[in-house]
Structure 1
Amino acid sequence: MLRLAPGQGGPGPRFFLIHAWLPLIAFAAMVLWTMVFGGDQWLADRMYAWQGSHWQLRHDFVTEQLIHRLGRDISTMAWLTVLAAWIVARARPGWGSLRRPLAYLLVSVAVSTALVAWVKSWSNMDCPWDLVRYGGAREYVGLFAMRPLGLSRGACFPAGHASGGYAWLALYFFLWSVRPRLRWLGLAVGGGMGLVFGFSQQLRGAHFLSHDLWTLAICWATALGLFLWFRRRLVVTESAAVPARISAEAAR
């Protein structure tokens, strides 16, 4: 059963202020700083200079093998584990209360990563390591700028690898449904994974900070929207079931 934490009632103004409006304001402020006022380049310049004016960590064992490749596999295995738990919950009556929360978690993680991949498939931005400023061969072209003719498309926005971490922000709402007191742990796990994955890729020169911000926004919006959608379906289903139960009881 998908529910809100005890004492907070339904999704009223306070819920939307905390989970929608404040994150949106923070996201807009960060996008302005990174993409309009040069925060992306400011941070990437320092990472690049710190590594000796080349992306020394691009092929480092920790950043490439452990965090990038193994981290991706761990995220995939975690999703398959949730899928197995959902299958068990459908087969065992004692796990019935976990079916809908597990279904929500499965769908939210899958949709979040798919949305990031879809946006990445048609967006047109380069990785830092492709740019002249950082030892590459291309000039920087902004997200909404016209790309010069003859310049092949970029495929680095938003951050795909970070979505394997930020998609698990859905754990916040999953735990809110089954163990409300642990929901902040879910937020910490999803946010921590996304930060590690994203920062590692920035150190490799694969992404700017704004690429991760957009991925974070997509994953959080997906988790929030699907939580409200699943909850609404539950309310509608239960409301429709009440007359049926009354009729069944009256017939006995």
Structure 2
Amino acid sequence: MMYHINLPKHISISIIYLLLVFGLFELTNIDIAIQNYFYNNAQEAWLWSKQEPVLKLFFYDAPKTALTFFALGIIISLLFFRKRDLISRYKNGLVIVLLSLIIVPSVVGLLKATTNSACPVALDNYGGEIPYVKVLASYPPNKTPSKIQKCFPAGHASGGFALLSLFFIFTTTKNKKIAMVFATSLGGLMGSYKMIIGDHFISHTLITMGLAWLLICTIAALVQKFTALSIINSNN
């Protein structure tokens, strides 16, 4: 099974990307500078309301529901239709996509639960009560949040970026590019929506994107190795 991609190289590039992006935002105030554009100080409100039903449906509820049904569709296909020619031909790619849809959001969720980073809407910069601190910094002793803050990296966008795994289903360069553009755009839109309503900084989305590709390439490498071992064992 060939993916026409150097997986170890892409894993290394992803790690370098994550280190560079994380370092950039830890050493600068780019997050705040960009986030300020989405907050109206005079009205003490975000550019878009989190409660606006149409925007919430289009950018939040609909993508989450679609991703859930997509994953369920893959599970059903692999369980009950795996002997069909179409499913059999794309089985490895479907496994990679399914694992990515499960693992990418799960890993991001675990990180969110441990980084203790507050969302913009909760910060005193934007009408909240929590001071802004970088991911590696500590809260002031008298300003420590009463409960763990779960905002870094971006959880909602992780589902969209998990679809970067569609790259491993298609065989032609054109379709692979379309898959990458689609997944990047979807993840970017989902992340941008959360920025505009005050739920995330841009760094949260960029880190999630890099982390998603790192995890997806790792999953693909493991599936490739497992498939190769299965072929060897079947020939013995």
For normalisation by structure 1, the TM-score amounts to 0.82
**What is the rounded CA distance, in whole Å, between the counterparts of 2:81 and 2:43 in structure 1?**
53
**What is the rounded CA distance, in whole Å, between the counterparts of 2:84 and 2:125 in structure 1?**
58
Q: Of residues 37, 52, 60 in structure 1, which corresponds to 2:28?
A: 37
Judge conservation of contact 1:165–1:194 (CA < 8 Å) in 2.
Answer: yes
Q: Is 1:208 equivalent to 2:201 in the alignment? A: yes
* Residue 219 to residue 136, structure 1, CA distance change in 2 (3 Å): same
Q: Is 1:64 equivalent to 2:56 in the alignment? A: yes
The answer for unaligned runs of 5 or more in structure 2 is none
Q: Of residues 143, 151, 157 in structure 1, which corresponds to 2:135?
A: 143
Q: Of residues 178, 186, 190 in structure 2, which corresponds to 1:197?
A: 190
Partner residue in 2 for 1:118: 110
**What is the rounded CA distance, in whole Å, between the counterparts of 1:68 and 1:146 in structure 2?**
31
Task: Give deviations 1:178-208, integer Å, cap 9, x for gaps.
Answer: x554111221121111000001100010001
Q: Is 1:174 equivalent to 2:169 in the alignment? A: yes
Which structure would you say has the larger Rg? 1
Partner residue in 1 for 2:2: 3
**Deviant stretches of 4+, over 4 Å:** 49-53
Query: Using CA pairs below 8 Å that are at least 6 residues apart, which structure has the higher relative contact order?
Result: 2
Partner residue in 2 for 1:162: 157
**What is the rounded CA distance, in whole Å, between the counterparts of 1:199 and 1:50 in structure 2?**
20
* Residue 128 to residue 94, structure 1, CA distance change in 2 (3 Å): closer
**What is the rounded CA distance, in whole Å, between the counterparts of 1:62 and 1:21 in structure 2?**
40
Identity across aligned pairs (percent)? 22
The answer for unaligned runs of 5 or more in structure 1 is 244-252
Q: Of residues 18, 40, 47 in structure 2, which corresponds to 1:27?
A: 18
For normalisation by structure 2, the TM-score amounts to 0.87
Deviation (angstroms), 1:99: 2.3
Give the paired residue count: 232
* CA RMSD after TM alignment: 2.3
**What is the rounded CA distance, in whole Å, between the counterparts of 2:200 and 2:42 in structure 1?**
16
Query: 2:145 corresponds to which letter in structure 1?
Result: L
**What is the rounded CA distance, in whole Å, between the counterparts of 1:237 and 1:51 in structure 2?**
64
From the two aligned structures, give the one with the greater helix fraction: 1
